[in-house]
Amino acid sequence: NKSIRRLRRAFASGTELSNLLLADEFASTQAHQPQSTWVAFPMKNRKKVIGALLLEFSPAHSEEDLALLGSIANELAVAMDNAISYQLITELRDTLELRVNERTQELELARTRLEQTVQRLEESDQAKRDFFTNVSHELKTPLTLISAPLDNIEDALPEDNHNAKEHVLLIRENTQTLLALLNEILDFAKLDTNDLELVNVEFDISRMLDDLCTALKPLADRKHLSFQVYLPQEPIFAYGDRKMLRRVTTNLLVNAIKYVEEGDTVKVRLSRVDTDIVLEVADTGPGIPEKEQDKIFERFHRAQDTHGRTIEGSGIGLAMAREIIELHGGHISIQSAVNEGATFTVQLPQEEALLTPTSIPILQSHEDNEDWLDDIQPTPIFGSSTSHDALSTQQTKVNGSRILLVEDNPKMRRFLTTVLSAHYQIYTAHDGREGLELAKKQRPELILSDVMMPHMNGYELCRAIKHDPHMRLTPIILISAKYGTEAALEAFEANADDFVIKPFSPSELIARINAQLKIRSLTLSLLRMEKQSTLGFMAAGLAHEIYNPINAIINATPPLRSLVVKPQPEGASPTIEAELLEAIELSGQKIRKVIDAVLAMARQDDTELYLEKTSISKEFESILAILGYRIHSGYQIHQEYEWNEPFYCYPKLLSQVLMNLLSNALDALDPEGGDIWLKVQRKDDRVVLQMENNGPPIPPGDREKIFMPFYTTKDPDKGTGLGLAICREVTEIHKGTLQLVPDSEHTTFSLELPYISQPT
């Protein structure tokens, strides 16, 4: 009855269904039905009624007719169920596609943001590494000049002059401290750029450790420590870079001795555990808090002691130790508790195979290995009638990077051109000599060159390119049939940027090319940008470490001079001792001057600046008063003001720029005389100041470098190479520009600042 009611409701649209019966009901009462009856055949699927087939029946129809129509109803039920399922699947598919597209867009946006973040981090890391290297190299020269005369001074001292010897020892120890710190910074920069190559040899690590402990025993004795060394009777041979592993061991031992108190114990134990070499350095010192143990191997992290005080150090030693050990396939760990000491454990693999490259047969000659091209030679994109000469000027991809391919083998040249032309603009040359001429003409963004070529080989081409000031930043990838460390070293000694061995994968070559192009792009960007955060980072990390020893050196020099240098008659030439001490003092002052300049740049971020109203003439007159002692009668200062109204700026920073520009101009003039022009005008919303001098012009090769930190064209004792870098940094704080005017008759610097009539 319920089924009948539902069917009547479903089909009550204009059809009289008062006499509607289900098929099974009709079959049992067919003989008693009127002449015309509506019969419903339910359409079921999965025990669920999804419809009905309605037919008008008479009692004359047979049971076979009813059965046939029942089968038809079942088939219709299946078809209808399939249609419903298809509709549901289509709707689900459309919904799923919409969700997938939305999620794909979200992931693509996240990937783009991640790539941008990674790129910014890479640029920041590269700037830090470059700055480490620049600072370290800038300081090494004066440090060498300080340490070099010490032996001569010590030899000239009388045996009983103990006071003077103590001063010499103080200078020597602090100089060695600085040199060690700088070497750590340089090696750390090499680790970051993968430039630090391990020189792996087999050596007796137990003997090395014994020698090192013997050398450090006096240091432990001075602190009245119990210095216990446990070495095996049989020698233990390790395979690795002896110098680097010695540095790691020295760092662990010196730290253990340095940070324990008088009367504590330091234990050193070397053993072999299975196939590993295990070194343990334990002490009974104050220990390291648990929260610090995960951080002490991080770069530049300086741990805190149990009283919360920061421990002295650069934060480099343990970070470098971990990276060196990991380069050797090993592991370094720490176990410590507060007031219970600390134990550092180094595990190194003893197997040589873990450190050596995969064995690949050394290719014997340039011609023996070209047959591999026949197996992978792609179909050329140019006709067979096209000569290779035409490719010398053909730009096969208009928007790609310009790449110069130098290869004397026609088959290899055609193959590489075909592979690379889909991605880059390709220029080709047949040998190194032609490649050098084409490079000077086309200025490619990258050079890909074979090594073995007539007239000029790849090494010679590489050196010629790198010695050209206009092309020295052009990355060069050398391709060679030779394999092995010596071949790679020879390529890198020729200043190649990368080295590819035949046979190679085209995809690998393209990846290497893209990597070098990206490095070149970042390098050029970094050369144009001043990394203020990097300078602050370096200044904060190194100022304390450098200032203390250098001040000790400078402060020790006057008393040492009074003890060593004997009074001389008036007019007499200075003694050797006096000259050596003067060299030490001047070099120390040079280092302090460099650090002061670095700090001056770093403090820009920390200085609270206020806009004040002033004029160029007012600030310049103050600078003239300060530098007046350097301006003699032969010098003429010409001030030409087309505009000289007060405007808002940062006067202290503006004075710093004017001071540097005028000082540089005076340095450039001939000692006998010269002219300097200051020209000021206003162009729309910009204040334009030009400083010009008629001294010798700046060489073309130096014009792009003079704003780089630590680059100077002056004598080493006259400049730090930071003046113009500071000027540009200050100018950028003003939202202005500072540049060297090209094609000017005289050396002219142009400073443009925004004209601000009212502060905001």
Enumerate residues 6+ apart whose C-beta is below 8 A from 356.
200
Provide the CA 406 distance to its chain's centre, in angstroms.
30
Assigned domain for 489 exists: yes
Of 106, 135, 164, the residue at which a domain comes to its end is 106
pLDDT of residue 78: 83
Tokens 């009901």, residue located: 25
Q: Lowest mean pLDDT of 48-62, 399-413, 561-575, 673-687, name the range.
A: 48-62
* Closest C-alpha among 25, 31, 7, 27 to residue 67: 27
Same domain, 583 and 618: no
Domain of 576, in residue numbers = 543-602
**Domain match, 17 and 101 both:** yes
- Statement to judge: residues 479 and 568 lie in one domain: no
Asked if the model's pLDDT at residue 53 lies above 70, the reply is yes
Residue-wise burial string across 343-361, b where 16 or more C-beta atoms lie within 10 A, e elsewhere? bbbbbbbbeeeebeeeeee
The number of distinct structural domains making up the chain is: 5
Query: Which DSSP string corresponds to 610-657?
Result: --EEE-HHHHHHHHHHHHGGG--TTEEEEEEES----EEE-HHHHHHH
CA distances from 20 to 17, 32, 38, 44 (A): 5, 14, 5, 18
What CATH number is associated with residue 344? 3.30.565.10
514 assigned to some structural domain: no
Closest CA to 175 of 543, 553, 542, 558: 553
Name the average pLDDT for the chain: 76
The verdict on residue 532 lying in a domain is: no
**Is pLDDT at 360 greater than 50 in this prediction?**
no
Last residue within a domain, chosen from 501, 527, 551: 501
Would you say 512 and 500 are in contact if contact means Cβ atoms under 8 Å apart?
A: yes
Query: Would you state the structure tokens that stand for residue 257, as one six-digit string?
Result: 């001795």
Same domain, 391 and 447: yes
678 and 596 within one domain: no
The closest alpha carbon to 743, from 689, 704, 697, belongs to 697
Q: Which has the higher per-residue pLDDT, 138 or 463?
A: 463
Asked if residue 403 is part of any domain, the answer here is yes
pLDDT computed for residue 692 by the predictor: 94
Highest mean pLDDT, choosing among 49-53, 321-325, 587-591: 321-325
pLDDT tens, 516-538? 998 887 777 665 554 444 445 55
Alpha carbons 204 and 120: distance in angstroms, whole number: 45
- pLDDT higher at 338 or 136: 338
CA geometry: angle at 377 spanning 374 and 381, to 5°?
145
Final residue in a domain of this structure, among 74, 106, 138 = 106
Q: Which of 335, 235, 251 is nearest to 287 (CA)?
A: 335
- What values do phi and psi take at 191, rounded to 5? -60, -40
The residue among 483, 459, 476, 481 whose CA lies nearest residue 512 is 476
- Give a yes or no: residue 192 inside a domain: no
d(CA 5, CA 357): 86
The verdict on residue 400 lying in a domain is yes
DSSP 8-state symbol, 722: -
Question: Does residue 283 share a domain with residue 388?
Answer: no
CA distance 120 to 34: 90
Q: Does residue 595 sit in the same domain as residue 629? A: no
Q: What angle do CA 159, 560, 312 make, to 5 degrees?
A: 105
Residue 644 pairs with which residues in a beta bridge? none
For position 354, what pLDDT does the model report? Answer: 42
Shared-domain flag, residues 242 and 337: yes
Provide the 8-state DSSP code for 211. H
Residues 592 and 642 in one domain: no
118 against 439, higher pLDDT: 439
pLDDT of 752 strictly over 70: yes
CA distance 67 to 27: 10
Q: Mark whether 222 and 332 lie in a shared domain.
A: yes
Q: Give mean pLDDT, residues 560-574.
A: 77
**CATH number, position 492:** 3.40.50.2300
Whether the pLDDT of residue 696 is over 70: the answer is yes
- Whether 140 is covered by a domain: the verdict is no
- Do 382 and 314 lie in one domain? The reply is no
Which amino acid belongs to residue 55?
L
Domain assignment present for residue 61? The answer is: yes
User: Do 298 and 409 belong together in one domain?
Assistant: no
